[in-house]
């Protein structure tokens, strides 16, 4: 089989078998205990100092350490591959039917291929970018890559929302008082809202770009306002649940927002719908950075 044919077949097989795993609600080991797979290195516990480490499981999957628990990163068995740990903390799916020369490496179809012990190891870059360096091919993307060592943007939102420490804030009922309710980005926000009244809370815009409001509470988001010019246009519309944790982040809204102040940040204000009985609204706001 020619190299070109091999990589074409691998790209097709990977697309059908490896992608689409959910890091938020997968059924991998979430206990924090070490894996017991075929990798060949000693099992280890998932602790914050090992965040981002990967290892093999007995189910022939690559699992990644996220703070203090594991998530399934790649399912080697589903594609007929074997999980292999070429060193502690670095696991990869290997196609043992392939042959290559140790030290070979390349990017194909945005997947990183590196030769280990005479067989191709495959790293799925997903939303990251494959870069072929002098010593090896790697997935790179500022930590927002796919199954190749980082997390996709939707996965990051899931992890941050579920694993982060909630910030408790209280919404205001008068628009001009929005400075009194501040939300940080990239952290879960729990907003106390009034009984059956429109309310407001702002978040910082540090650069012009695509901002996404992921809602943990359904039917609560109304729109986003500029501090001086009223509701933005077009009005953000619900684009559905986050596919990586659809039962947790049930809606999401995109808005292109401009950093139009003399210096960052500038506030943009989320308007929340009246909620009978008041209560708490949960959400997380993120900047969708391009890589």
Could you give the strand order of the β-sheet that contains 119-124, starting from the edge strand earlier in sequence?
A: 82-87, 90-95, 119-124, 111-116, 105-108
Residue 109: what pLDDT? 82
Residue 33: what pLDDT? 38
User: Is residue 188 helix, strand or coil?
Assistant: coil
**pLDDT above 90 as % of the chain:** 42
User: Is residue 78 helix, strand or coil?
Assistant: helix
- With a cut of 80, say whether residue 285 has pLDDT above it: yes
Read off φ and ψ for residue 168, nearest 5 degrees: -95, 125
Domain ranges within the chain, ordered by starting residue: 3-151, 164-288
Q: Is the dihedral of CA 35, 40, 45, 49 positive or negative?
A: negative
Read off φ and ψ for residue 14, nearest 5 degrees: -60, -45
Residue 144: what pLDDT? 34
Pairing of strands 137-140, 129-132: antiparallel
- With a cut of 90, say whether residue 279 has pLDDT above it: yes
Least confident of 24-33, 50-59, 251-260: 24-33
pLDDT digits (tens, 9 = 90+) for 30-54: 433 344 444 456 678 888 777 778 8
Cα separation, 33 vs 168, in Å, equals: 32
Residue 49: what pLDDT? 76
Q: Which two tokens stand for residue 138?
A: 């790697």
Query: Whole-number mean pLDDT of the chain?
Result: 80
User: Is residue 103 helix, strand or coil?
Assistant: coil
pLDDT digits (tens, 9 = 90+) for 56-99: 888 888 887 766 777 777 778 877 889 988 778 888 889 889 99
Q: Within the chain, how many helices (H) and strands (E) appear?
A: 2, 19
Residue 124: what pLDDT? 72
Cβ neighbours of residue 134 under 8 Å, at least 6 residues apart?
A: none
Class of domain 164-288: mainly beta
pLDDT digits (tens, 9 = 90+) for 191-201: 999 999 999 99
Cα separation, 189 vs 185, in Å, equals: 9
- Give residue 291's pLDDT band: very low, low, confident or very high (50, 70, 90): very low
| β-bridge partners, 281 | 191
Residue 172: what pLDDT? 98
CB atoms closer than 10 angstroms to residue 107: 18
- With a cut of 50, say whether residue 175 has pLDDT above it: yes
The better pLDDT of the pair 62, 218 is held by 218
Residue 128: what pLDDT? 62
Read off φ and ψ for residue 149, nearest 5 degrees: 120, -10
CB atoms closer than 10 angstroms to residue 196: 11
pLDDT digits (tens, 9 = 90+) for 93-151: 898 899 999 889 999 887 889 998 899 988 776 656 677 877 788 776 544 333 333 46
Q: Specify whether the CB–CB gap between 189 and 183 falls below 8 A.
A: yes
Q: Which two tokens stand for residue 262?
A: 């003399």
């Amino acid at each position: 089989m020619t190299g070109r044919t091999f990589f074409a077949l691998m790209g097709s097989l990977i697309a059908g078998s490896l992608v689409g795993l959910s890091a938020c609600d997968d059924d991998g080991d979430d206990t924090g205990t070490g894996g017991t797979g075929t990798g060949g290195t000693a099992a280890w516990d998932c602790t914050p100092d090992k965040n981002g480490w990967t290892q093999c499981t007995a189910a022939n999957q690559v699992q990644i350490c996220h703070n203090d628990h594991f998530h399934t990163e790649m399912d080697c068995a589903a594609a007929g591959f074997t999980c292999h740990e070429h060193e502690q903390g670095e696991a990869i799916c290997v196609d043992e039917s392939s042959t290559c020369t140790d030290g070979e490496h390349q990017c194909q179809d945005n997947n990183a291929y590196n030769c280990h012990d005479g067989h191709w190891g495959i790293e799925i870059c997903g939303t990251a970018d494959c870069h072929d360096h002098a010593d090896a091919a790697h997935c790179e993307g500022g930590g927002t890559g796919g199954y190749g060592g980082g997390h996709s943007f939707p996965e990051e939102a899931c992890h941050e929302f579920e694993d982060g420490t909630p910030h408790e804030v209280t919404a205001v009922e008068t628009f001009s008082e929005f400075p009194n309710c501040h939300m940080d980005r990239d952290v879960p926000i729990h907003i106390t809202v009034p009984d059956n009244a429109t309310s407001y809370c702002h978040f910082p815009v540090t650069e012009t770009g695509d901002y996404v409001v992921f809602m943990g509470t359904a039917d609560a988001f109304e729109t986003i306002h500029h501090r001086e010019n009223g509701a933005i246009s077009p009005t953000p519309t619900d684009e559905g649940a986050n596919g990586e944790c659809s039962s947790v982040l049930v809606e999401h809204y995109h808005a292109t927002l401009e950093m139009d102040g003399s210096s960052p940040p500038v506030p943009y204000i989320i308007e929340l719908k009246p909620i009978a009985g008041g209560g708490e609204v949960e959400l997380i706001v993120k900047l969708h950075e391009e890589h």
